[in-house]
A = this chain, B = another copy of it.
Amino acid sequence: MVNVAVLGYGTVGSGVFDVLVKNHDSIAKKIGDDIKVKYVLDLREFPGDPVESVLVHDFDTIINDPEIDIVAEAMGGLDPAYTFAKRTLEAGKNYCTSNKELVAMYGPELLELAKSKGKNFLFEASVGGGIPIIRPLNQSLTADDITEITGILNGTTNFILTKMDKEGLAFEDVLKEAQELGYAEKDPTADVEGYDACRKIAILSSLAYGLHVNFEDIYTEGITKITALDFKYASKLGLSIKLFGKSKKIDGKCYAMVAPFMISTESPLYCVNGVMNGILVNGEVIGDIMFYGSGAGKYPTASAVVADIVDEAKHLNKHIMSLWSSKKLELEDIKSNRCKFFVRVSGDAASRLDAVEEAFGKITPVTLDEVNGEFAFITEVISEADYEAAAQKVDGILQRIRVEA
C-alpha cells in the first residue's frame, strides 16, 4: 500500500484525485501495488464531494503521519508550496508538483534535498501540462548532448496566435474571446507577456543542460504587439508566427529567450495550434524530436501528476537522478544572439530602398496588395546588436519580429 496526500483541491488537484480513484484498479494492476489517497489538503470545504472523507485543513496532519509516502502538490505559487516541499522532503517523504513557479525558483535546492534523503522531487506537470517531456529529458536523452530546445509552451498565447493566423483577427479581439472561453485569465499578463513561457523554458533548459537557468535572466517578449497585418505578411511569405521559449548551446555558450518568431510552414511546430503545446528538442545523437500535446487543462495536467506519483511509488526510496545542479548557468547577453528579422517599414519601397539597404544591406521588399504606405523585408542572419544598430539608422520602423532561420 502506497499512501498519497494531495495538496490543493482546485482544478488539477481534483483531477488527480479523480484519476487515482477512478483508475485505482488498473493502476494497481500495472504497478503491482495499491495507491491510496489518504488525505487531500485544502482550506475550503466541499460539501457533498467525494473528497470529504479524506479532506484535511492542516498540513501537520499529513507531515506527522508516518504512513504517508508521497505528497502531490497542485497549489501554484511559492507560498506555502515551498515550505510544504521542504518539510515533506526533510521528513523523508517523496514530493511531486505541477507548480512551475516553485520548480523555476527552487528546483535545484529541492532536488538536492531529495537526493540527500534518497527521495524524489518530480515535476512532470510543471511544463507542458500532460505532455511527457520532463521524464524523456531525464531518461531517454540521458546519453545525449542537448543543443537546442524550442517550445510553444503557453496555450493561451498559442490559441490567440492561431486564431489571428486562421481568421485574420486583431490581437485585442481574440484575447477577449479567449477570456470568454476560459483560455485566458482576467489578468492575462503572465501569459501574453511571456512570463509563463519564461519559467517553463528555464525549467526545461536547466534539466537539459544540467545547470540552473534563472528565469529572471531570460529575455522575455510577449505577443501584445503582434498584429493581423503581420500575419498577412507571414502568410505571403509561407510563414506563421508563434511565441517560442527557446534555448540553445553554441560553442559552449548558452542563449535563452522568449519571443514571437516567424516560422516556416515546413517546421513541425507549425502544426502546433490552438491551446496545444509542442516542444522541439535537438540532441547531438538523437537529432530533432518533438513532444506535442495539451499544455494545460484539468485532466491532461492531472495525468502528468499521476505519472509522477506512480514513478515515485515504484521508487519510494531511490532518488531517480535528475541532472540539475544548483550551479548557475550564465546565459549569454541576448545582443550576440543571431537570427533573421522580419521588419515592416513605413513609406514606399521604391523611394526608401536606398536608405534601408544602407542600414541593412541588400533586401527584397515585400508588399501586400491591400496595404499602402509600407513594405516589409527579412534580413539575413544577423546579431541582435547588429539589428539594433541598423534599426537606429532607419526612420519609421513599424514592426520587428524575429524569424526562425
Which residues from chain A sit less than 8 Å from chain B, CB to CB? 19-20, 23, 26-27, 30-32, 124, 130-132, 135-136, 139-145, 210, 266-268, 270-273, 276, 278, 283, 285-294, 297, 299-300, 302-304, 306-307, 310-311, 321, 323
Contacts and interface: CB of A to CB of B under 8 A. Distances in A.
B287 A26 contact: no
B135 A289 contact: no
A321 B31 contact: yes
A210 B31 CA distance: 13
Contacts of A26: 143, 145
B283 A273 contact: no
A141 B292 contact: no
Contact of A19 (B285, B303, B321): B285
Contacts of A293: 286-290
Nearest to A131: B289
Given A293-B289, A306-B143, A268 B271 contact: yes
Given A285-B302, A286-B304, 10 more contacts: A23-B143, A27-B142, A30-B142, A124-B140, A130-B285, A132-B139, A135-B139, A140-B307, A271-B271, A286-B294
A266 B273 CA distance: 8
B294 A292 contact: no
Contact of A144 (B139, B288, B303): B303
Nearest to A322: B30
A286 B139 contact: no
Nearest to A134: B140
A277 B48 CA distance: 48
Interface centre among A30, A144, A285, A292 (most CB of B within 10 A): A285
Given A31-B321, A288-B294, A291-B289, A23 B145 contact: yes
Contacts of A142: 27, 30-31, 307, 310
Nearest to A302: B285
A107 to B, nearest CB: 17
Interface centre among A270, A302, A307 (most CB of B within 10 A): A307
Contacts of A290: 290-293
A124 to B, nearest CB: 7
Contacts of A302: 285
Question: Ordered nearest first, which 10 A-B pairs have the shortest CB separation?
Answer: A289-B293, A271-B271, A132-B140, A290-B292, A143-B306, A285-B303, A286-B303, A132-B136, A130-B286, A140-B307
A19 B26 CA distance: 38
A108 to B, nearest CB: 16
A287 to B, nearest CB: 5
A264 to B, nearest CB: 10
9 contacts: A23-B285, A130-B286, A132-B141, A135-B135, A141-B307, A143-B306, A283-B303, A287-B299, A289-B291
Given A31-B142, A140-B124, A140-B304, A285 B266 contact: no
B268 A292 contact: yes
A287 B292 contact: no
B130 A287 contact: yes
A333 B256 CA distance: 52
B143 A27 contact: yes
Given A268-B271, A302-B285, A291 B294 contact: no
Contacts of A307: 139-143
Contacts of A20: 143
